[in-house]
Structures are given as structure tokens and as C-alpha cells.
Amino acid sequence: MYVVRALSALILSLVVLTAGCSGPEGVELLGTEYRDPPEAPDFTLKNQYGNEITLSKFEGKVVVVAFIYTSCPDVCLIISSNLDYVKQSIGGQADMVEFISITIDPARDTIEHLREWADARGYDWNHLTHERGSVIQSVWDEWNVVVDTEHIANSLPPEESTVRFSVLNPDNTSIVTDNACKDLINLTCYVDGSEFAEFALRSNAEIEYDMANGTIGNWTSDGSWSWELHSWDSENESWGRAVSDDPSSIVVGLSSHLAWVASNANLSALPPGEDCNGHGWVMGSGSSAHCMCDTGWERPGGDWLSCVIEGSSSSTGNETDPHDESLGEYEIGHSTVTFIIDKEQRKRVAYSGIHWDVDDFLQDVKTLADE
């Protein structure tokens, strides 16, 4: 699974651990136990209701501490779901256990957003953030939590409607730009295709664009080839010649995707006008890129970058799911470790990643609550 850099940071911080055996307190714990339990670093942050929460105020109780962010599309959702299961299953020991989730994306996880997010899921434990980045950064540092903001940003779905303008060069290399629509209220994105091309290529891609001379980027058309305007056909999921090679005659709406294609290029080399068949968004980049499909859609077996209607895939069931395969890349967006703190405010057990037995975790919480 996806331990990699995050786990290396954990190993450095835990120093000496034992898994699934009796520790120094003579208590058998199932998770990864600290042989010499260190004191849990104290902190004061704000919960989803704006109230200050201080860890040391929970001395005398077992405290579960997790690090998440609400826009995380997978790992954090599983961790939060596991915590909810444990909280609901703790039974008569509930008064002796506190649950805390700390965001590693305070820019988006504001107090108001955390309240909305937690309330929508029925999560009634403390979800903590802080408006001062330096305050929450110090918590990550003291808890040896590795936060990779670039990975966090890459795990977010697009927040606004975009239209794509692409270029396919004579050597079959391509340029793809996704551009925010300017006027969503009137369901238009640009005045016309000419304004669209100017913005996409000059402003966004920052390449030379001078159709009067036939120049796009490093290529200038000559007598042997020319630039041809193509538009994306969403229904047939294919590129086709636009009604005109004059982009100023093209109306650019919310699903208008255009491309300049060299007449001597192989059209099949041009990336599609819409990601994920128009029913999802691409998470990650390079070899780990894969679609996060909309509800009711799924990735077909063996095709990471497509979305089809659920149940319509002819998957054999033997393919490695690309999202499961790539979870490691996204877990290193932060060191995904869930801690169990004992009544003396010491780190007693750590569960790394998400592939741990939630019932083992529940048992460890109960065991420490009984100490």
C-alpha cells in the first residue's frame, strides 16, 4: 500500500516500536505500540464551532488523534469513517474516550467548512483547525506530520467550469490548456473562439500565437501543411473539423472545446476534449493519473482515464484498480498516522495508513480505556 515517505517520517519519530505484543505497561495492544511511550505534544486549536480545544484538558481520558483534510477524496474519508465506527462501537466506555481530527489543509478547512462537513456526515467529535497557519504548522511539526501541499492541491476536483483549447503540432506533440469560463451566468465562456484562443494560448500556455503568420508556438505553417480548427463532439467523444477555420465565428459555451491541428499530424494523437468521458476529473499526473468518476460511473477494467456507467464494464476482476494502486502517492500528501493517546497523555499506539483492522483499533481503545 502507500506508506513510502510518510512511513519513513513516522519511523524517525517513533524511534522504537513493537507491534501486536505486550508493551512496557504489561498490556497487550494490537497496533504499533511505543516501547517507551513519549508524551503527546500539547496543542490548542479551534473546533468546528469556533471553540478552543486543548489536548491536555483531556488528561485522564484516552484520546484518538487523526490528521485529515476534508477535500481528500479517499484516504481521509476512510479514516473518518473508521473513527465514526469506533466511536459508535465504544459502548459503556464512551465517556472515557475523546476523538480529535486535525486538518492539514487549513486554507480550505475553515471553522465554518469543518462544521458543514462534519454535520453533513453526522460526525460529532472535534474537528480542529486554526486561522493562523503558523499555529497549526507547529502542531504538524511537533507531531512529525509530513504535509505536502502540492499533493493536497492535486487531489482536489476542479472548482469551476473549464473549457479546453488544445494544439496538435506537426510532430504529433500537443499542448492542452484548461481555461475557466468568464460568464457562467449567461452560460458563455468567451466572446468567441478567437478570444478563447488568444487567452488559452498567449495568456495561459504563454506561447507565441499569430495566426496572421500561421504561427503557434515554435511552428509556422508553410505550403506543405496548414492549421485546421477542430471542435470536440461530446456525444461521439471525438474531434472533428469545426464549421469554420475562423475562430471568431465560433460561439464558446460551457462545453465548447477547440483545437488547432496541423493538417499533416495524426489526429488520434490529440488528447480528448474532455477528461474521463465528461463524467469525472483526473486525479494525479503522469503515470499515476486516473479518473475520479462521478456518482453512477466507474473506471472500466484496465482503463485508468475513462468513466463508464456502473455495471457496463467488461472487467474480468483481475485488474489492479488504478486508484488503489496510486493511493500511496496521495497518502504522502501527509503522513497518515492515527494515534491513540493514553490517560497520561502519552502516545501509546500508532496505526499507519488505512489498511488496518478497525476492530483491532477499537480493541486497543477499549484496552487503554480500562487501564
List the CATH number of the domain containing 24. 3.40.30.10
In a domain, 127, yes or no: yes
* pLDDT mean over 4-33: 54
Helix (H) or strand (E) holding 308: strand 308-309
* pLDDT mean over 241-249: 95
The whole-number pLDDT of residue 294 equals 79
Query: Model pTM?
Result: 0.55
C-alpha 140/C-alpha 155 separation (Å) is: 20
Least confident of 85-94, 188-197, 207-216, 281-290: 281-290
Residues 146, 101 within the same domain: yes
CA 126 from centre of chain: 22
In a domain, 338, yes or no: yes
Residues 9, 140 within the same domain: yes
**pLDDT tens for each residue of 67-86:** 988 877 667 778 899 999 99
Domain that holds residue 292: 284-322
Residues 183, 252 within the same domain: yes
Number of domains the chain is built from = 3
Q: Is residue 197 scored above 90 in pLDDT? A: yes
Instruction: Kindly indicate the confidence band of residue 332, based on its pLDDT and cuts at 50, 70 and 90.
Output: very low
In a domain, 328, yes or no: no
Least confident of 32-41, 212-221, 286-295: 286-295
Residues 314, 252 within the same domain: no
Residues 13, 142 within the same domain: yes
In a domain, 279, yes or no: no
Instruction: Kindly indicate the confidence band of residue 184, based on its pLDDT and cuts at 50, 70 and 90.
Output: low
Q: What is the CA radius of gyration of the chain?
A: 26
In a domain, 346, yes or no: yes
In a domain, 74, yes or no: yes
In a domain, 75, yes or no: yes
Work out whether the CA dihedral 127, 131, 132, 137 comes out positive or negative: positive
The whole-number pLDDT of residue 151 equals 59
Residues 38, 123 within the same domain: yes
Instruction: Kindly indicate the confidence band of residue 330, based on its pLDDT and cuts at 50, 70 and 90.
Output: very low
Instruction: Kindly indicate the confidence band of residue 146, based on its pLDDT and cuts at 50, 70 and 90.
Output: confident
Residues 83, 102 within the same domain: yes
Instruction: Kindly indicate the confidence band of residue 359, based on its pLDDT and cuts at 50, 70 and 90.
Output: very high
C-alpha 338/C-alpha 309 separation (Å) is: 35
* pLDDT mean over 89-109: 91
The whole-number pLDDT of residue 70 equals 84
Q: Is residue 160 scored above 90 in pLDDT? A: no
Query: Which is more confident, 18 or 218?
Result: 218
The residues pairing with 147 across neighbouring beta strands, listed in sequence order, are 334
Here the CATH number for the domain that contains residue 192 is: 2.170.130
Question: Are 101 and 128 within 8 A, CB to CB?
Answer: yes
Residues 58, 188 within the same domain: no
Residues 35, 149 within the same domain: yes
In a domain, 139, yes or no: yes
Residues 266, 210 within the same domain: yes
Residues 45, 186 within the same domain: no
Residues 28, 69 within the same domain: yes
